[in-house]
Amino acid sequence: MARLTYTTGTPEQMSAEFEAALERLRTGPGEPLAHRIAGEDVAQGPVLERRNPARLDEVASRLHEADEALVSRAVEVAREAQPAWERRGFAERIAILRAGADEIERRKVDLAAIVSLEVGKPRHESLAEVQESADIINEYCRLAEEANGYTQQLGSLTEDETNTSVLRPFGVFGVISPFNFPSALLVNMASAALLAGNTVVAKPSDKATWSGVATLAALFHAGLPGDVLNIVLGGAGTGTALVDSDVDGIAFTGSVEVGRRIGTAMRSGRYDRPALMEMGGKNPTVVMPSADLDDAAAGIARSAFGLSGQKCSACSRVIVHEDVHDELVDKIAELASTFAVGDPADAETFLGPVADDTAATRFERSVAAAMQDGEVVAGGQRPVEGGHYVAPTVVTGLPRGHELTLTELFLPFLTVQRAASLDEALDLANEVDHGLTAGIFSADTAELDRFVERMQAGVLYLNRKAGSTTGAWPGVQSFPGWKASGSSGKGGLGPWFVQQYMREQCHTVVT
């Protein structure tokens, strides 16, 4: 059987297992989810509620919210545990994390069902995400082994001198993960920090807490010590408390606005501390006259409307040469009309709900602005009742510099702009603050080379029908964000990510 990824289908047997798990887990986790500190559940703090975005009459999960004192306690436990965790060495840490990856894979169907209940992901998205979580861990472990535990011998000035460069952990990392990939992105940041020898205090998204807690439970089952990974639950207040605590670094995935506040906080105090952040995208696809327009439309539609556009890598902008503009728009609009919007429990569903009422309201306002300043050629409706459902939407005719073409909406909302040349298209593509992913469709090698040379984004896809800007996979594509999309220029899933959770120390020994 082919490896399950974002670009493969769901095997029939796994689909049936998913449906059974979804029905079995629909009643939620029972008691409100508790924090986990020093290996013990701590049911403390006010209770928050997460509604199933696909069925608003159902509660997906409930959770206790941590205050500043509880967050500080978790950080203290992690700090006490860190020296012993570092001394265990890379080989032992790798063995524990690989066992955790195996356990995640064994629990894949149940974990995917939980993700679907909390986030509204269809099965092909949620199953692939959990598989990605396991693959992320295995890829980082493989890279650490190849790097000899990030230890390198240097030159010597005298015969009795030995010099060694060693990467060592910072200490305690806070990890703040988003709702849209509540398993994979939490695992991405936490596993890299743990592998590097840090201890972790993790805060899953309050929109997908059960998904995060259930995924991390697999690591504990595989032997990860409870004081090495501590979990605090809650909303923005808990996240702020973690950033303001005595951590040695923060790893964050989310909005530019929040990321910049975190970066400022981590530069205050006695010395700068690392803030490793991936902060969204406003990702373009450029289409030239020589392109296969059917492939282009398929790749654009898949990237624009998968997970209802709630991916930092989603294609939200198309910049197409004027000679093929109308034909391409017709093809994308036709595809958009074929995508089923509905409950993720339905095997035919391609678009589930958006995250919450805030996102649904943002959709309505965006459609209103598009109708005023451009033309809505597909979608624009709220097609299904009972959940936060919105239709895949395509908009043309907006003037250059319009807010809808520059601002990340996190919706299944695609704008299409005309360009008279490749250079004009690239100027338009680069005028946003973000720089995460970008794609192009062209049969002209010189145009492809020009795109790679000029495009200001960390992940580039050339003629990719499977997804014009989306679909990165561990060990296959790295995921670096340029400009406002990232703080370091080095991406998750790739060969330079784990090193960011360590700092270099040079050892000179004279014998």
Which residues carry out catalysis? 278, 312
> Given phi > 0 = left and psi -120 to 50 = alpha, else beta, which region is 481?
beta
How far apart (Å, rounded) are the C-alpha atoms in residues 492 and 502? 15
How far apart (Å, rounded) are the C-alpha atoms in residues 232 and 376? 43
How far apart (Å, rounded) are the C-alpha atoms in residues 18 and 108? 9
Structure tokens at 361: 């309201």
Tokens 């391609």 belong to 350
- Longest CA span, the chain: 77
Contacts of 224 (CB under 8 A, 6+ apart): 96, 97, 100, 194
Strands 315-321 vs 413-419: parallel, antiparallel or unpaired: parallel
The DSSP element (H or E) to which 425 belongs, if any, is helix 422-430
The DSSP element (H or E) to which 168 belongs, if any, is strand 161-169
Structure tokens at 134: 């396991």
Number of H helices, E strands in the chain: 15, 21
How far apart (Å, rounded) are the C-alpha atoms in residues 505 and 489? 22
Q: What is the CA radius of gyration of the chain?
A: 23
